Homo-oligomer: A and B are copies of this chain.
Amino acid sequence: MLQPEKLAQAIQILQELNLDAWLIFARETEETPERAWELLAPGMVVWESALLLTKHGDRIAIVGQGDDDAYRKSGWYSEVHSYVQSIRELLRATVTRLDPQQLALNFSESNPNADGLTHGMFLTLQKILRDTPYPARFISADPILSRLRGRKTAEELRRIRAAIKRTLLLFDETTALLKPGLSEKQIAEHFHRRCDEWNVGTAWAWNQCPTVNTGPHSSAGHGGPSDLRVEPGHLVHIDFGIKQDGYCSDLQRMWYVLKPGETEPPAHITHAFNAVVKTIQAAADILRPGIVGWHVDARAREVITGEGYPEYQHGLGHQVGRAVHDGGTGLLPRWERYGDTPYGIVEANQVYTIELGVQTDAGYIGLEEDVLVTADGVEWLAPPQRELMLVRSN
């Protein structure tokens, strides 16, 4: 089971960081998922609820009556408490009994995966603990969550591999399917049909996943597939991932539609494609435990601009897991919007995308690979695309 593995890992991380306690405080988790909650808990909660983990191994759940059954039945928690009218006394008494020197909470300016505590719930917690020493001991749980979400367990890796396998199957089908006249929307419909058959979700918003771009007039953003149709001479770009058993894949693949008489893409298209491939390889070559995230992004920018193309206007890579943008550390430029995440250190057992693209007069060329960080480098989780897949016009 996933959650007991992650609970044990969380307690190891508290020990490693020498942090006394971590408090996850949430409500209505079905409507507003608290990303740490789903990783550690056996079920949703409606009323204000708390999970308290300590470096001594305490695993305490305080939930509303009606929600407590699943917590008791799971056996994952060393204590399960429930309440009817207010969580205040139970929570205050429990924190006081544990008397932590640091109380980590899920807020982070940099890392959305460590920012599950709403501002209203933060204010509530301050009130509940008023006139105790603990509000002054609040710290961000970002160091905990970055590690916990980053370090994939065997079960998590199994699920990610399975999601990638199905995604590759869909790309293979696409190669057989592609032909002039098909619209971006029709291509996306095929992906959605398969997801429905398999009963899996998309890795991001259904109506924007896959991204499908055919030809030079299609926008490579997250706007969703359009009515533009595949034509001879088009590049076709698909960015897609599924979410299966709670875990995501995220890959981009490229096709070129030959014009009548053509047997290969125009030279400048192949050149651009090869530049993207080379850049991804250069990043993979230096990605390993201990490297700082932004160094990998910077290396990629150096390579792609050295090939004569402009810098991509996004980060080179993010972690993948339960969330398609998972973990903390990213292979990201030091832009303000990425906060501290480019400064994180890469660890073994993290899964990253490596992705970038360039615009051409035949369309957008974007590739994205998924890699697992190993003890001394990376493992490609899908065979990386090294050549444009060719589609014949007739």
Contact = CB atoms under 8 A, between A and B. Distances in A.
A123 B123 CA distance: 13
A114 B196 CA distance: 33
A263 interface: no
A384 B219 CA distance: 51
Given A33-B33, A112-B118, 20 more contacts: A28-B112, A28-B325, A31-B33, A31-B325, A32-B112, A43-B222, A44-B204, A46-B325, A69-B224, A70-B208, A70-B224, A85-B337, A107-B123, A108-B120, A117-B118, A117-B120, A119-B121, A119-B122, A122-B122, A196-B199
Nearest to A221: B66
Integer count of this chain's copies in the complex: 2
Top 8 nearest A-B pairs by Cβ distance? Answer: A69-B223, A86-B336, A115-B120, A107-B119, A66-B221, A85-B335, A119-B122, A28-B112
Interface of A: 27-28, 30-33, 35, 43-44, 46-48, 64-70, 73, 83-88, 105, 107-124, 127, 140, 196, 199, 204-205, 207-208, 219-224, 313-314, 323-325, 335-337
A55 to B, nearest CB: 23
Contacts of A323: 28, 31
Nearest to A336: B86
Contacts of A224: 43, 69-70
Contact of A324 (B31, B196, B314): B31
Contacts of A115: 32, 118-121
Given A221-B66, A221-B67, A221-B69, A335 B120 contact: no
A341 B221 CA distance: 40
Question: What's the dominant secondary structure at chain A's contact region?
Answer: loop
Nearest to A140: B120
Given A43-B207, A116-B118, A33 B30 contact: no
Contacts of A108: 120
Nearest to A318: B46
B123 A336 contact: no
A208 B337 contact: no
Output the residue of A47, A83, A117, A336 with the most chain B CB within 10 A.
A336
B30 A112 contact: no
Contacts of A114: 120
A78 to B, nearest CB: 19
B35 A33 contact: no
A355 to B, nearest CB: 12
11 contacts: A31-B113, A31-B323, A31-B325, A33-B33, A43-B222, A70-B208, A83-B337, A107-B118, A115-B118, A117-B118, A119-B122
Nearest to A82: B221
